[in-house]
Amino acid sequence: MTYKTIPAHYDGEKICLDEPTKLKRDEKLFVTIVSDIEVLREENFHTIAFAGLSQAYGEDEPTYTALHIREPNSEYRT
Protein backbone atom coordinates (compact mmCIF):
# COMPACT_ATOMS: atom_id res chain seq x y z
CA MET A 1 0.00 0.00 0.00
CA THR A 2 1.35 3.41 -0.95
CA TYR A 3 0.61 6.53 1.06
CA LYS A 4 0.82 10.14 -0.02
CA THR A 5 0.09 13.09 2.24
CA ILE A 6 -1.64 16.00 0.50
CA PRO A 7 -2.46 19.23 2.32
CA ALA A 8 -6.12 20.16 2.04
CA HIS A 9 -8.77 22.37 3.61
CA TYR A 10 -12.53 22.46 4.03
CA ASP A 11 -14.16 25.49 2.38
CA GLY A 12 -17.46 25.12 4.22
CA GLU A 13 -19.00 22.86 1.58
CA LYS A 14 -16.35 20.42 0.35
CA ILE A 15 -12.80 19.20 0.96
CA CYS A 16 -10.35 20.97 -1.38
CA LEU A 17 -6.90 19.57 -2.10
CA ASP A 18 -4.21 22.25 -1.88
CA GLU A 19 -1.94 20.59 -4.46
CA PRO A 20 -2.79 19.38 -7.97
CA THR A 21 -3.41 15.65 -7.64
CA LYS A 22 -4.67 13.04 -10.06
CA LEU A 23 -7.07 10.60 -8.45
CA LYS A 24 -8.70 7.54 -9.97
CA ARG A 25 -12.46 7.19 -9.74
CA ASP A 26 -13.45 5.51 -6.45
CA GLU A 27 -9.85 5.66 -5.18
CA LYS A 28 -9.71 5.04 -1.42
CA LEU A 29 -8.59 7.95 0.76
CA PHE A 30 -7.80 8.53 4.42
CA VAL A 31 -9.02 11.84 5.79
CA THR A 32 -7.41 13.21 8.95
CA ILE A 33 -8.95 16.32 10.44
CA VAL A 34 -6.31 18.38 12.22
CA SER A 35 -7.47 21.17 14.47
CA ASP A 36 -4.12 21.47 16.25
CA ILE A 37 -1.06 20.78 14.09
CA GLU A 38 1.14 20.38 17.19
CA VAL A 39 -0.95 17.42 18.37
CA LEU A 40 -0.57 15.85 14.94
CA ARG A 41 3.19 16.28 15.07
CA GLU A 42 3.48 14.73 18.53
CA GLU A 43 1.06 11.81 18.24
CA ASN A 44 1.43 10.73 14.62
CA PHE A 45 5.03 11.55 13.83
CA HIS A 46 6.03 7.94 13.21
CA THR A 47 3.06 7.29 10.93
CA ILE A 48 3.77 10.40 8.90
CA ALA A 49 7.50 9.64 8.78
CA PHE A 50 6.89 6.10 7.58
CA ALA A 51 4.54 7.32 4.86
CA GLY A 52 7.13 9.85 3.68
CA LEU A 53 9.96 7.34 3.69
CA SER A 54 7.90 4.80 1.79
CA GLN A 55 7.57 7.40 -0.98
CA ALA A 56 11.27 8.26 -0.93
CA TYR A 57 12.61 4.70 -1.09
CA GLY A 58 11.43 1.97 -3.42
CA GLU A 59 11.55 -1.76 -2.87
CA ASP A 60 14.43 -2.07 -5.34
CA GLU A 61 16.75 0.33 -3.49
CA PRO A 62 20.32 -0.94 -3.12
CA THR A 63 21.74 -1.75 0.30
CA TYR A 64 24.79 0.31 1.13
CA THR A 65 27.48 -0.85 3.54
CA ALA A 66 30.55 0.78 5.08
CA LEU A 67 32.53 -0.47 2.07
CA HIS A 68 30.66 2.04 -0.11
CA ILE A 69 31.88 5.05 1.90
CA ARG A 70 34.61 6.94 0.07
CA GLU A 71 35.27 9.59 2.71
CA PRO A 72 34.13 8.92 6.30
CA ASN A 73 32.56 11.75 8.27
CA SER A 74 34.98 12.38 11.16
CA GLU A 75 32.17 14.01 13.20
CA TYR A 76 29.87 10.97 13.00
CA ARG A 77 29.67 8.98 16.21
CA THR A 78 28.28 5.45 16.43
Q: For the chain, how big is the Rg over CA atoms in Å?
A: 19
Provide the residue ranges of all domains of the chain, joining segments of one domain with +: 8-68
Chain segment 20-64, per-residue pLDDT in tens: 999 999 998 888 877 766 655 655 667 777 777 777 777 788 888
Cα gap 42→45, rounded to integer Å = 6
CB 21 within 8 A of CB 6: yes
Quote the pTM value: 0.42
Cα gap 37→21, rounded to integer Å = 22
